[in-house]
């Protein structure tokens, strides 16, 4: 039987058994529409509100500040669209290494509302240039939204979110951060971090696909992107998927309960993988700060391999044939032949000519899987 190794957890994670059990329980026993006023509907509504309370508790915010969405993309769209349409934002500062859920909506708003967009400079290591960010804030006097992700989904670089929050507050700017790669993997206290908006997705922390949430700071006056009923206190129309929301709650509970234990395990896998690559593949490099335990997330490595361009085209195909699931970048753009927009933003041409692969890990991965992947890569390169 062919070995199967799943090293693409930054794209999506396997659903936990406890999450699946909870979802089946809700689907089987709670058929009501949460907007209905009868007992069956009220039971569904109670499940939703308990989930909202649980999620808010882990983030140290109020339940009223959590709005359920279909995932991170919708949450990003809700926040950025409303900032321009409803909150008077005329200037957006973002970066060329953001997820396309941010970049593409900003491009749309630039055309539709004639807003000004500034791209903050990216350093050679793939991190945001904080001096340039401050200069952009000083230079522009219009109402500004900063939109910068907490953890980059391709290279793992971590934004100094506290420093950006302070800059935003100093210059009276709004701050939105895509935290899709953060929630469920780190302890986040949004009372201490004065970020105005965040986006999260359940399937990044072993929950179901098709559900996520936006955090909207109290009194932010964000208005719905989707029109219909008055669900989510008017912030997001549409009948709530009770089973998905309950599954997301369970996934976050389990992620937080096991956070320290699972983090230690995943860190061990990551550093063992890095060590084995360096020992077995001369000339291997690591993109961004993913090789640094303090400047990047513990969940991924973005590896630049010493393979000539003509052979690089076959690398992912060969890994797939060997049962290894990984990614050349974000799964959301894997059909593109333009390469990674993240790596294109800061890598030199000689590095861009070599194949870069994102390997991302979970608590389910093992050192034996690492050995198999390294052996496969070594064989391919030889």
Cβ neighbours, 10 Å, residue 17: 10
Q: Exposure pattern of 23-37 as b/e (b: 16+ CB <10 Å)?
A: beebeeebebebeee
User: How far is Cα 230 from Cα 237, in angstroms, rounded to an integer?
Assistant: 6
Map tokens 């105005």 to a residue: 196
Two tokens at 233? Answer: 């206190």
Map tokens 């991302």 to a residue: 360
Contact (Cβ atoms closer than 8 angstroms) between residue 281 and residue 381 = yes
SS3 sequence of 277-306: HHHHCCCCEECCCCCCCCCECCCEEEEECC
- Rounded to 5 degrees, φ, ψ at 67 are -120, 125
290 among known catalytic residues: no
- Residue 65 backbone class (left: φ over 0; alpha: ψ -120 to 50; beta: rest): alpha
C-alpha distances in angstroms, 234 versus 64, 101, 150, 228, 229?
Answer: 11, 23, 27, 9, 8
User: How far is Cα 105 from Cα 83, in angstroms, rounded to an integer?
Assistant: 12
Q: Which residues contact 50 (CB under 8 A, 6 or more apart)?
A: 249
C-beta pairs of 233-241 under 8 Å, 24+ apart in sequence = 233/64, 233/67, 235/67, 235/78, 236/67, 236/68, 236/69, 236/78, 239/33, 239/34, 239/35, 240/34, 240/48, 240/68, 241/210, 241/211
Strand partners, 66: 215
Contact (Cβ atoms closer than 8 angstroms) between residue 334 and residue 327 = yes
First to last CA, the chain: 25
Active-site positions? 332
């Amino acid at each position: 039987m062919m070995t199967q190794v799943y090293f693409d957890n930054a794209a999506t994670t396997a659903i936990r058994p406890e999450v699946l059990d909870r979802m089946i329980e809700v689907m089987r026993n709670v058929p009501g529409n949460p907007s209905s006023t009868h007992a069956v509907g009220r039971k569904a509504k109670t499940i939703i509100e308990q989930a909202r309370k649980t999620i808010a508790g882990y983030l140290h915010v109020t339940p009223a500040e959590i709005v359920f969405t279909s995932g991170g993309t919708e949450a990003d769209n809700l926040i950025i669209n409303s900032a321009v349409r409803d909150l008077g934002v005329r200037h957006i500062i973002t970066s060329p290494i953001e997820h396309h859920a941010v970049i593409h909506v900003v491009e749309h708003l630039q055309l539709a509302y004639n807003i000004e967009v500034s791209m903050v400079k990216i350093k050679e290591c793939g991190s945001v240039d904080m001096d340039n960010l401050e200069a952009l804030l000083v230079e522009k006097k219009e109402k500004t939204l900063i939109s910068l992700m907490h953890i980059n989904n391709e290279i793992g670089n971590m934004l100094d979110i506290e420093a950006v929050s302070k800059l935003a507050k100093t210059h009276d700017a709004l701050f939105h951060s895509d935290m899709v790669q953060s929630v469920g993997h780190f302890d986040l206290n949004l009372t201490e971090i004065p970020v105005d908006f965040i986006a999260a997705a359940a399937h990044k922390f072993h929950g179901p696909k098709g559900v996520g949430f936006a955090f909207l700071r109290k009194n932010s006056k964000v208005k719905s992107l989707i029109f219909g009923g008055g669900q989510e206190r008017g912030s997001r129309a549409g009948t709530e998927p009770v089973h998905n929301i309950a599954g997301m709650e369970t996934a976050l509970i389990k992620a937080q309960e096991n956070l320290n234990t699972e983090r230690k395990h995943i860190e061990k896998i990551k550093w063992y993988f890095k060590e084995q690559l360096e020992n077995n593949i001369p000339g291997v490099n690591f993109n961004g700060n993913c090789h640094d335990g303090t400047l990047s997330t513990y969940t991924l490595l973005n590896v630049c391999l010493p393979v000539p361009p003509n052979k690089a085209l076959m690398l992912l195909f060969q890994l797939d044939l060997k049962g290894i699931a990984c990614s050349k970048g974000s799964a959301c753009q894997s059909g593109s032949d333009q390469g990674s927009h993240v790596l294109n933003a800061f890598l030199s041409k000689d590095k861009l000519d070599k194949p870069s692969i994102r390997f991302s890990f979970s608590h389910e991965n093992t050192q034996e899987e690492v050995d198999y992947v390294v052996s496969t890569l070594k064989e391919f390169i030889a």
